[in-house]
Amino acid sequence: MALSEVGQAQLRLNAMAALELFIERRGGFATRDELVDFVLGGRRFGLIDRNRGIRNPQELDATLSVVSAADGPYADRIDPETGLLEYAFRAGDMTGGDNRKLRAALTARVPIIVFRKPSPNVYVPVFPAYVVGEDLIRGHVLIATDDALAQAYREGIRPIFEKSYVERVVAQRVHQPMFRAQVMSAYSTTCAICRLKHPELLDAAHIIADRDHNSVAHVSNGLALCKIHHAAYDQRFLGISPDYKVHVNARLLDEVDGPMLKHGIQDMHEVELTLPHREADWPSRDFLDERFAEFQA
Ligand SMILES: [Zn+2]
């Protein structure tokens, strides 16, 4: 039974607030089981459906979430001109079944959650997102991943947007969270240098600056680093050689200071990098080499 309108709005917002906290503590992603068996206010309330790519809880008149493939032949496309995600209607009747509540999300203008799935069992939420249009001929809805884009699309002022603005929104809202999730998942949420495991203190660092804002940087251009080692790497206080070893700046090695310098930095000299389980996720030796040359310069 659907709740009252206010009850529905509350449930939707509570689910999103709880997800935000959960994702932050988890390092930017969740697994399928965690989302299917999500607990909200002491009871199980799945944020994704166990068997389908759309979650239409019986308490709600409109869709709560959709799972959108981020790669592979059936990937949902993000239009680079508009920044809108094209999410295919469920098979069958476009106006009935699961699609009915998806279209209700368009009419009611309620926020939904889009889960992007960059790799198996890595779910990255983008929310609040809004269904802002539909294309019944090509068989998809259009989803905005940002309030301003949603507003603009509804008011038909889309053409005034600079392409660079759309690119930036998609990079910030979709690509960067996906990069972080992939890096955190590959490194089991562990600093590659000191093995710190608190996601709140970890960053997904780029080895080579991200030049292409139209795509997600590959995990081989990433390193999971704690805040201090990320900053130290960026400031060239330490470097990482292509043989996966940490090198501390020679001048810094001679300095005498408190425990952070001694244990946090100097003790990391010649430490072996903690690498991802899967070799395919290891940092690229070419990228490390390019960056290491800058450190040595
Ligand atoms: Zn560290």
Burial annotation 209-233 (CB, 10 A radius, 16+ → b, else e): ebeeeeebbebbbbbbbbebbbebb
- Measured in Å, residue 87 CA sits from the centre of ligand 1 at 39
Q: In this structure, what token pair is assigned to residue 188?
A: 């089991």
Which domains occur in the chain, in start order?
5-178 (2.30.280), 189-296 (no CATH)
- Measured in Å, residue 184 CA sits from the centre of ligand 1 at 13
- Measured in Å, residue 176 CA sits from the centre of ligand 1 at 21
DSSP designation for 126: E
Asked whether residue 29 carries a pLDDT value surpassing 90, the answer given is yes
* pLDDT of 155: 84
Give pLDDT tens digits for 229-254: 999 999 999 999 999 999 999 999 99
236 vs 159, which has greater pLDDT? 236
- Measured in Å, residue 213 CA sits from the centre of ligand 1 at 27
Which residues are found with C-beta within 5 Å of the ion, ligand 1?
Answer: 191, 193-194, 196, 226, 229
- Measured in Å, residue 204 CA sits from the centre of ligand 1 at 12
- Measured in Å, residue 45 CA sits from the centre of ligand 1 at 36
SS3 readout for 42-59: CEECCCCCCCCCEECCCC
Asked whether residue 158 carries a pLDDT value surpassing 60, the answer given is no
Q: How far apart are CA 163 and CA 25, in angstroms?
A: 34
